[in-house]
Every structure is written in C-alpha cells, then in structure tokens.
A and B are shown apart, each in its own frame.
Chain A
Amino acid sequence: MTKEQALYNYCVRLGDNALVQSYRLSEWCSNAPILEEDLALTNMALDMTGRAQLLLQYAGKVAGHGKTADDMAYRRAEREYRNDLISELPDADFAFTMVRQMLVSTFECFLYAALVSSSDKEIAAIAAKAVKEARYHMAHTSEWVIRLGDGTEESNRRAQSALNILWSYTGGLFETTDADALLLSEGMAADVSQIKTKWQENIEAILREAKLILPADDYQQTGGRQGLHTEYLGHMLTEMQYLHRTYPEAIW
C-alpha cells in the first residue's frame, strides 16, 4: 500500500462516518420531541454533511481519479463504504440517538483534537473545524444522556437498553487497518490506541452521572473499516442514492 492509498482510505473512512451520521441525524427532521431538538439534531446533521463534503472531496483529490465529493457519496456501493457500524444502525428512539451520538462524538473530540496536529495540512485544517463541532455535539448529547438516564423510570430504561445494544459496536471506533500503521509513521493519522483510555474514562463519568450501567458483555462487532457492514447500510444508500441511480445522466 502506498502512502496515497493509505491517505485515501483514511479520508474515505472519516468522510463516510460523517456522511452516515448526517443521514441518521437528518432523519429526525420534523420528527423530534420538541422543536428546539429538531433544530439541534438537524444542526448536527448539517455539520456532518459539511464535514463529509470536505473529506470526500479531499479523498477524491488524493486518489487523483477526478471524482467529486458527490461522486464519492452517491456512486459507491455498500462494500466500498468505510464508516463504522455504530453510525449506520437505525434509530430505535430518541434515547438511542442521544446515546449513540454521545459515544461517537466523545470519540471524535479526541480523534479530531489529535488530527489538528496531523502532518497533512489538509487533514489538520479539516480537523480544526471538526473538533469544535464535535465538542458541541458531545456537550449537547451528554446532557441529554444524563437527563434521560436520571429522568423517569421509562427514560432510564430506554437509555439503558440503547446503551446495551450500542456498546458492542463501540469497538469498531478503535479498529485499525494497514493504512493506520503507515499513516501513523508519517505523523498523519491519530493513534486510536492512545485515545481509547481517555474515551472510556469520559464515557464512564457521563454514565455514572446518568445512572446508567456499563454493559458487562465485552463482545465487539467490527468490520466497517473492511467494508463489512450491517444489513442497514444498503437500505440507507438505496434511499440516499435514489436519484443518481434512477437518472444516471442527470446533473443536480
């Protein structure tokens, strides 16, 4: 694997994570429990769409194949997607969305904080923007996780059951490939093994305050970074890519 190939894979992974999160968050549009939250969730979706655009555009540039961010988003099949499984799971309820986003955004706070000092200038610039967004996302969602966990019996039950399902997908956040090793030696990527402990400490502190229990089962579902996804991703892409698939000649 060349450095360019590794960098391409890395950008696609980050870009796909942003894109898939944007999709799930935007599904809340006109479906949130209060208008204020409709605004907040679509705001996060907006941040993620912007981030996906920057990263996928850069991936296209690195690959030198002339593909735009839209080509990357709308003209790849599920086996070519490199996002983490946790982000593609459908939202069971508001608790699921908040717990998921809290877990992922906390990870992204550390990830993008590390990438701010990437030796790749483009990644560093995107990370500088992303880390600010991720901090806001983490603050907003962890407040909700605490509110739900320490709210009513029902909200606690819903948050706990969301956590129980989501926990087995958190391992995917720390999955590495050959690309990581190569880029780490170049000072371009973030070392997720160093992030893991800090992430876990933060999550445990939030869960304690939320009166939620860390699941005991350690089994982890991984594979997103090899393009091995859940059955849900194919349906998401079918919907997202509908117009491109139906009218391949059209320019939007």
Chain B
Amino acid sequence: MMEHNENTAVQEVALSAFDYKMENDQAIEPRDEMPEGYRKHLIRQMSQHAHSEVIGMQPEGNWITRAPSLRAKQILLAKIQDECGHGLYLYSAAETLGISRSEMIAQLHSGKAKYSSVFNYPTLNWADVGAIGWLVDGAAIVNQVSLQRTSYGPYSRAMVRICKEESFHQRQGYEIMANMMRGTADQREMAQDAMNRWWWPSLMMFGPHDSSSPHTGDAFKWKIKRQSNDELRAKFIDKTVQQAEVIGLTIPDPELKWNEEKGHYDHGPINWAEFQRVIGGHGPCNTQRIAHHKKTHENGAWVRAAAAAYSAKQKSIA
C-alpha cells in the first residue's frame, strides 16, 4: 500500500513536469515520464509513418527496372533509398518509446498497424512515378513540415531531416510531369491520366474533415499535431493548383474555385466512402502490398538467421 502511494506520488510529480514542458513548448525526450496515452499515440503514429515509407517503396519500385533513362533510373533509385532511410530512421525513433522494429513489423502484418492508404493505389504508367513525387510527397511535405514542431523530440528531429529530402522528391516528381507535358501526345495523355488518378487520393492523405477526425482532440492537446487536417489540405491545394497550371495539367475537379474571402481554393466533395473502403482493406493493392511485405520478410528469414548465427559464433570465439 505504502509502495503504491509512493509510486503515485512520483508519477504525479513526473506528470507535472510533462505538463510544464507542454505548456512551455519544450520537447519531450525519451527518458522523460509521459502519460501512457501520449506514448501509445506516438507509437501508433510513428510506426504508421515508418510503415508508410517502407510500403511506399513498392509502387515506385514497380518502375525501377523500366525507368526510361539512366538519369531517371538514378534519381528514382536515390529517391526510393531515401524513403527506405526514412523508414529506418522512423523505426529507430519509435524504438525510443519502448517498442522494437520486429514488433512493429508484426503489427503491420497482423493489420494492427496501418500505413498510408495512398499506397494502395497502383502505378500504371511512368507518369505515376512523377505523380507520386509531386502530389503524394507534396502532400506528405505539408504534413511533415507541420510535424517538425511536434512535441516529441526524436520525432520532430526526424521530420527536420526528412523534410529536406522530401522537397527534393517533390521537385523530381514535378520534373517528370513537366517533361511529359512537353513531350508527345501519348506522354501528355499519360501525365493527365496519372493526375486524374492521384489527385483525389492525395487530398485524402490529410484525413477526414476536422468535423469528423477521431484523433484530433488528444493530438492537439499533446501538441503532437499543430494544424488541422483541413488547414493542411488547403495549403496543399493552394500551392499545387498553380504548379499544375504552369505545365498545362487539369485538376480533375470541376468545382475547384478560388475563394477570395477565405483566401483558399474551394474544392468539390471528397469521396469519403472510397477513403473508408480503401482504409478498410478494399483498395486496388491492399492485399498485394501486405502480401509482398510478408513474403519479403519471410524469404529473408534464413538470411537474418545466418547473420545471427555467424555473429554468435564470432562472439564465442572472441
């Protein structure tokens, strides 16, 4: 009984230190005491973020062997490497919260952990690689720039580094689209086709409207999230519309219109039924993406076992 009371007292002091840091906009670090809900929220969000980087390698990797020039191949290889590096970096950052990479991978395979639903759409032509860089990474940057000020130190620092690379990704994606729009009629058609298919899924990346976002409350209170889904979505639309116009791409939304009063574009209704359906597992590539990740993980088991066995032998010799 005594012990229990002391623990409670320690936790109260520690929690008030957490509250103090929150109020004063100081970063929470791995050794700091933190509410269990805060820890859980971050593990969920950071592991989902890491999984998104890794699963996102698949749709782009789909074009590596078919990249149409040596330069394009180098850029795409370097870009996917960056995503892989981000995944590694984010897994490590999430590990500071007391969960291992293999546990996170197990949660991905069991369906407990999610990844960005946008990667459940297929890359059907070369312009899709451009669209992913320009639109998907472009949307991710808006989110991630905002996350640079998130309250958890390791996450915030990861975002600073990741944002630098993501802006390169967005430029390379836009370059592919611009090149194709300067090309033959076939190329322009491919670019517009990619635009038509990736625009709406990119808008969905910001999540449900503020009026119906289930996690918004805690995430704001804990300063994990600094700007709302709708604010971030508006930022993305505003900067992208102009970029599309410059290269002659049409945004597939007849209701898109500049709203002078709000200082933002108004857009047509987002198909939230599709969003829920794809998140729920019924997108074009959900089964394929997870099956691929599982198969790769299982195929690699003997390699990881060999490395562990060799390392154990070396230790026993030393």
A residues neighboring B (CB under 8 Å): 19, 22-23, 26-27, 29-39, 42-43, 45-46, 49-50, 52-53, 56, 69-70, 73-74, 93-94, 146-148, 150-152, 154-155, 158, 239-240, 242-244, 247, 249-252
Contacts and interface: CB of A to CB of B under 8 A. Distances in A.
B184 A30 contact: no
A29 to B, nearest CB: 4
Given A70-B69, A150-B313, 5 more contacts: A30-B296, A34-B300, A155-B303, A243-B126, A250-B186
B203 interface: no
29 contacts: A26-B77, A27-B64, A29-B80, A30-B54, A30-B296, A33-B296, A34-B303, A46-B81, A49-B73, A50-B74, A69-B70, A70-B71, A74-B68, A74-B69, A93-B299, A94-B303, A146-B310, A148-B303, A154-B302, A154-B305, A155-B302, A240-B65, A242-B66, A243-B68, A244-B68, A247-B184, A249-B184, A251-B179, A252-B183
Nearest to A95: B303
A45 B79 CA distance: 13
B221 interface: no
A73 B47 CA distance: 40
A31 B57 CA distance: 10
Nearest to B296: A31
B78 A30 contact: no
A34 B304 CA distance: 8
A interface: dominant SS = helix
Interface of B: 54, 57-58, 61, 64-66, 68-74, 77-78, 80-81, 84-85, 87-88, 91, 126, 179, 183-184, 186-187, 292, 296, 299-307, 309-310, 313
A24 to B, nearest CB: 10
A50 B183 CA distance: 25
Given A26-B65, A39-B84, A147 B306 contact: yes
Contacts of A30: 54, 57-58, 61, 80, 292, 296
Contacts of A250: 68, 183-184, 186-187
Contacts of A19: 70
A208 B196 CA distance: 58
Contacts of B309: 151-152, 155
A180 B205 CA distance: 57
A147 B300 contact: no
Contacts of B303: 33-34, 37, 94, 148, 155
**3 pairs of A and B residues whose beta carbons are closest in the complex:** A33-B300, A151-B306, A155-B306
Given A42-B81, A49-B70, A240-B66, A247 B186 contact: yes
A33 B297 CA distance: 6
B interface: dominant SS = helix
Contact of B69 (A34, A35, A42, A252): A252
Contacts of B84: 35, 38-39, 42
A73 B72 CA distance: 13
Contacts of A43: 81
Contacts of A154: 302, 305-306
Given A33-B304, A151-B305, A152-B309, A39 B85 contact: yes
Contacts of B306: 147-148, 151-152, 154-155
Given A27-B65, A53-B70, A73-B70, A32 B296 contact: yes
Nearest to B299: A33
B305 A152 contact: yes
A152 B64 CA distance: 33
A152 B61 contact: no
A32 B64 CA distance: 15
B61 A35 contact: no
Given A35-B88, A152-B306, A23 B65 contact: yes
Contacts of B126: 243, 252
Nearest to A157: B302
A46 B186 contact: no
A36 B77 contact: no
Contacts of B310: 146-148, 150-151
A252 to B, nearest CB: 4
**Most chain B beta-carbon contacts within 10 A, residue among A69, A155, A250:** A250
Contacts of B54: 30, 35
